[in-house]
C-alpha cells in the first residue's frame, strides 16, 4: 500500500511526536510537564511546529476544528509559560501553570487520536473520523485520564504548599 501521507503530512507527524514523547516523559519523570527548561522547550517548540504545519493539511482545504484546537493549545501553553509572573494569583500560579500544560496535552491528543485511529492499521483503520464511536471512546478515555491526572497533580501541589512549616500543615 502506498503511503497516504504527503511530505508535509510526514513532517507534521514527526513534529507532532515531539510534544507527545516530551509530555509522556515529563509526566513519568516530574509528574507534570514543566513549561520551561529543556523538556518544556522541546514540548513547546514541537507543539508550535505541529500546529504551524497543520495549516497546510486539511481534507477539505479549509480551516477546520483541528486547526482551532491547535491554536487553543498554543494559547494555553503561552498562558502556562507566563503563569508564574501573575503575582496576584499567589500559590494559584502553580496550579494554573500545571493545569494549562496538562490541558494542552489533552488538546494535542484529540486530533492525534482521531488521525491515528482513522489511519491505523492501514488495511482496516479502527475508526472512521471524529464521529466514529471508536474515536469518541478514545477521546473520552483521554479526557478521563486528564481529569484523574490533573487531580493527582493538584494533590501533589497542595501537599507541597502545605508541607512542614506551612500554616496549612496538619503535621504535629
Domain boundaries, the chain: 7-161
- Sign (positive or negative) of CA dihedral 20, 24, 74, 110: positive
Query: For residue range 116-171, what is the model confidence (pLDDT) as tens digits?
Result: 998 888 889 999 988 999 999 999 999 999 999 999 999 999 988 775 554 443 33
Is the CB of residue 15 less than 8 Å from the CB of residue 55?
Answer: no
Q: How many Å apart are CA 152 and CA 61, to the nearest integer?
A: 40
Instruction: Looking at mean pLDDT, say which of 47-51, 112-116, 168-172 comes out highest.
Output: 47-51
Please tell me the predicted confidence (pLDDT) of residue 41: 96
Dihedral (C-alpha) 147, 150, 154, 160: value to the nearest 10 degrees? 150
Virtual CA dihedral for 40, 45, 48, 49, nearest 10 degrees? -150
Query: How do residues 60-102 score in pLDDT, each as one tens digit?
Result: 778 888 899 999 999 999 999 999 999 999 989 999 999 999 9
pLDDT of amino acid 3: 53
- pTM of the entire predicted model: 0.87
User: Residue 172: is its pLDDT beyond 60?
Assistant: no
pLDDT greater than 70 at residue 1: no
Amino acid at each position: 500500500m502506498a503511503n497516504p501521507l504527503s511530505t508535509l503530512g510526514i513532517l507534521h507527524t514527526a513534529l507532532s511526536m515531539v510534544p507527545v514523547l516530551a509530555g509522556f516523559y515529563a509526566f513519568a519523570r516530574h509528574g507534570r510537564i514543566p513549561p520551561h527548561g529543556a523538556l518544556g522547550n522541546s514540548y513547546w517548540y514541537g507543539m508550535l511546529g505541529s500546529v504551524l504545519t497543520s495549516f497546510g493539511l486539511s481534507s477539505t482545504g479549509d480551516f477546520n476544528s483541528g486547526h482551532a484546537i491547535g491554536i487553543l493549545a498554543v494559547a494555553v501553553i503561552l498562558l502556562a509559560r507566563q503563569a508564574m509572573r501573575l503575582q496576584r494569583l499567589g500559590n494559584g500560579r502553580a496550579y494554573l501553570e500545571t493545569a494549562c500544560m496538562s490541558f494542552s496535552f489533552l488538546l494535542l491528543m484529540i486530533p492525534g487520536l482521531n488521525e491515528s485511529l482513522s489511519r491505523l492499521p492501514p488495511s482496516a483503520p479502527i475508526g472512521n473520523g471524529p464521529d466514529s464511536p471508536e474515536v469518541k471512546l478514545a477521546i473520552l478515555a483521554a479526557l478521563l485520564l486528564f481529569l484523574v491526572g490533573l487531580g493527582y497533580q493538584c494533590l501533589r501541589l497542595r501537599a507541597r504548599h502545605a508541607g512542614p512549616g506551612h500554616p496549612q500543615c496538619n503535621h504535629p
